[in-house]
Amino acid sequence: MAKETVVELEQVRVQFGKRVVLENMSLAFEQGEFITILGPNGAGKSTFLKLLLGLLRPAAGTIRVLGRPPRRGNREIGYAPQRRTLETDLALRARDVVGFGLDGNRWGIALPTRRRRARIDQTLAEVNALAFADAPVGQLSGGEQQRLLIAQALLTDPRLLLLDEPLANLDITHGQEIVALVSEVCRARGVTVLLVSHDINPLLPVTDRVLYIAHGQSAIGTPAEVITSATLSKLYNSPVEVVQALGRLFVVGAET
Amino acid sequence: MFDIFQYPIIQNALLAGVMVAVIAAIMGYFLIVRGLTFAGHALPNIGFAGAAGAVLLGLDPVIGLFAFTIGAGIGIGLLGREVNERDTSIGVIMTFALGLGLLFLSLYAGYAERVYSILFGQIIGISQQDVLITAIASLGTLLAILLLFRPLLFSSFDPEMAQARGLPVRLLSLAFLILLAITISLAVQVVGALLIFTLLIGPAATASRITSSPFRALSLAILLGISYTFLGIYLAAENGVWPVSFYIATLSFGIYLPVRLLSPLWLGRRRQRARTNADARADERAGRNKLAALEPERFAGSSR
Q: CATH no. for residue A211? A: 3.40.50.300
A113 shares its domain with A69: no
CB–CB contact B278 A100 (8 Å): no
A94 shares its domain with A146: yes
In a domain, A255, yes or no: no
A63 shares its domain with A162: yes
In a domain, A252, yes or no: no
A120 shares its domain with A189: no
Strands A19-30 and A5-16: antiparallel
Are A91 and A46 contacting, i.e. CB atoms less than 8 angstroms apart? no
Residue A93, sorted as left (phi over 0), alpha (psi -120 to 50) or beta, turns out to be beta
pLDDT tens figures, A148-182:
999 999 998 999 999 999 998 888 888 999 999 99
Q: Which of A157, A183, A211 is the last residue of a domain?
A: A157
In a domain, A254, yes or no: no
A19 shares its domain with A139: no
A174 shares its domain with A217: yes
Round to whole Å and give the CA distance between B189 and A173: 55
The interface predicted TM-score of the complex, written ipTM, equals: 0.87
Q: Is the pLDDT of residue B169 over 50?
A: yes
Share of chain B residues as helix, strand and coil, in percent rounded to the nearest 5: 85, 0, 15
Round to whole Å and give the CA distance between A137 and A133: 9
Q: Average pLDDT, stretch B194-210?
A: 93
In a domain, A35, yes or no: yes
Q: Average pLDDT, stretch B111-119?
A: 77
Residues of chain B contacting A152 with CB distance shorter than 8 Å: 161
What is the per-residue pLDDT for A9?
92
Which residues does A1 contact at the CB level (< 8 Å), separation at least 6? none
In a domain, A251, yes or no: no
The domain total for chain A is: 2
In a domain, A244, yes or no: no
pLDDT tens figures, B203-250:
999 999 999 999 999 999 999 999 999 999 999 998 888 889 999 999
Q: Which of A157, A179, A204 is the last residue of a domain?
A: A157
Can you list the domains of chain B with their CATH numbers?
Answer: 3-201 (1.10.3470.10)
pLDDT over 90, % of chain B:
47
| Chain B contact present for A136, CB below 8 A | yes
- Which residues constitute the domain of residue A190? 1-76+158-225
A28 shares its domain with A146: no
CB–CB contact A72 B163 (8 Å): yes
A172 shares its domain with A216: yes
A173 shares its domain with A187: yes
Strands A217-221 and A77-80: unpaired
Strands A241-245 and A77-80: unpaired
In a domain, A245, yes or no: no
What is the per-residue pLDDT for B257?
94
pLDDT tens figures, A59-104:
999 999 998 999 988 899 999 998 888 887 789 999 999 999 888 8
A69 shares its domain with A169: yes
Which residues does B270 contact at the CB level (< 8 Å), separation at least 6? A135
Residues of chain B contacting A90 with CB distance shorter than 8 Å: 32-33, 157, 208, 212
| Chain A contact present for B80, CB below 8 A | no
| pTM, rounded to two decimals | 0.85
| Chain A contact present for B289, CB below 8 A | no
In a domain, A123, yes or no: yes
CB–CB contact B166 A172 (8 Å): no
A65 shares its domain with A165: yes
A27 shares its domain with A145: no
